[in-house]
Structure 1
Amino acid sequence: MTDWLLAGLVSTGVPLLFVTTFLSCLMVPVPSSLMMLAAGAFAAGGDLPIISVVLASYLGAVLGDQTGYAAARLAQQPITRMMAHKAGAARMMTAATLRLSRNGSVTVFLTRWLMSPLGPYVNLAAGATGFSWSRFSLASAAGELVWVTIYAGLGWAFASNIEMVAELSGNITAALAAAFVAVLLGRMLLRAARHRH
């Protein structure tokens, strides 16, 4: 699928980038970060306009966040039930909800770029728990700007070494998200153990 999307980026360009970042914010497993890296590299080679790359990626991500938030706000019960039946999704949703209740806007901001695998779950948790739309929107818009700038910028700056940058950034993001979830679940277990005694 990744090869097909990257080939499509050459022929379709910016609209495919918009769709990819939009879908990634809705838990659709598409390689949006890799697509932005590639688009940045294509822009460095003169094949795509960098402003269009950044705008399409940014608008897709922000609209994806807003769609996830609105869907969870409108359908709290069905989404909660759906997440409860999938072990991995349930863990991510629990971690997102816990983090959101403690550090609201900071959590939304950081899960756009630093811990991006948690981002779609935070969108759902924010909508389902009634987190302030204005706070969510501001933090989301700021975080997505950082995400898009980092990935499109890395693609632009390191166009000749794009494979190495893609592998390194993917490994770092996955490790940070896994560590984040592990720490949150560990804290929950410690609290539960303390309450039993």
Structure 2
Amino acid sequence: MKAELLALLPQWGPWIVAVSAFLSCMMIPVPTSFLLLTAGALTGTGHMQLPELVIAAAVGGTLGDTTAFLLARRIEPRLRRIGRRTAQAMDRARGLLERRGTLAVFLSRWLVTPLGPPMNYVAGASGIALPRFVAASVAGETLWAVLHLLAGHVLGRQVHRTESAALKAVAIGAALAALFWLIRRAWHRRATSC
């Protein structure tokens, strides 16, 4: 699936990024971080436009967040029955929301991203006001998009004028995605061992 998405990225980039962000916010496993990092690297090589991608990612993510938030009262109890990992993620999101309030929504968009999708459902079920949720979502999703796309962009600029720059941009996206995944994994292990 990743190969097909990458092939379409230069032509349909903003749409692919928006749809991917939307789906990932609904707890559907899509390689959105990988796509953003790769798209960011492609902006650095001149194959895509950075502002379009930031807007697409932020809008897609915010729409996904809001849709999950609005569906929360009906879906959230069922999600807890899907599996132990989902139930644990929902419990962690609920704990963060109880400690930090709406700030937890903002933080779960860009800092504690594994809790982002569960936070949408937990926040919707908890009764947070929709305008407050959307404000935190927009700010957090925009920061998330900028951080991912800029990380790829900066490294993509290094291969801007070389042969096969697009292929190298994809490799940069993959390397950054692997690095982000390792950092998240280490963070998660540290948090669960405490």
Root-mean-square deviation (CA, aligned residues, Å) is 1.8
Distance in 2, Cα, partners of 1:70 & 1:5: 29
Task: Say whether the 8 Å CA contact 1:116–1:177 is kept in structure 2.
Answer: no
1:100 partnered with 2:97: yes
Q: What is the TM-score when the length of structure 1 is the normalising length?
A: 0.83
The alpha carbon displacement at 1:140 in A equals: 1.2
Structure 2 length normalisation: TM-score? 0.85
Unmatched runs of 5 consecutive residues or more in structure 2 = 160-171
Letter in 1 for 2:140: G
1:4 equivalenced with 2:15 (yes/no): no
Corresponding residue number in structure 2 for 1:146: 143
Q: Which has the higher contact order (CA 8 A, sep 6+)?
A: 2
Could you tell me how far 1:6 is from its partner in structure 2?
1.5
Deviation at 1:8, TM superposition (A): 2.1
Q: Does 1:72 align with 2:64?
A: no
Q: What's the counterpart of residue 133 of structure 2?
A: 136
Q: The residue matched to 2:39 in structure 1 has which SS?
A: helix
Partner of 2:179: 168
Corresponding position of 2:88:
91
Q: Which residue identity lines up with residue 37 of structure 1 in the other structure?
A: L
- Aligned-residue sequence identity (percent) comes to 36
Comparing 166-175 and 19-28, the one that deviates more:
166-175
- Describe the SS at the equivalent of 1:30: coil
The residue aligned with 1:17 is: 17
Mind listing any 5+ residue stretches in structure 1 that lack a counterpart? 187-197
Within 2, Cα distance between the matches of 1:131 and 1:179? 30
* Residue identity opposite 1:131 in structure 2: I
Q: Which residue matches 2:31? A: 31
Distance 1:37 1:125 in 2: 28
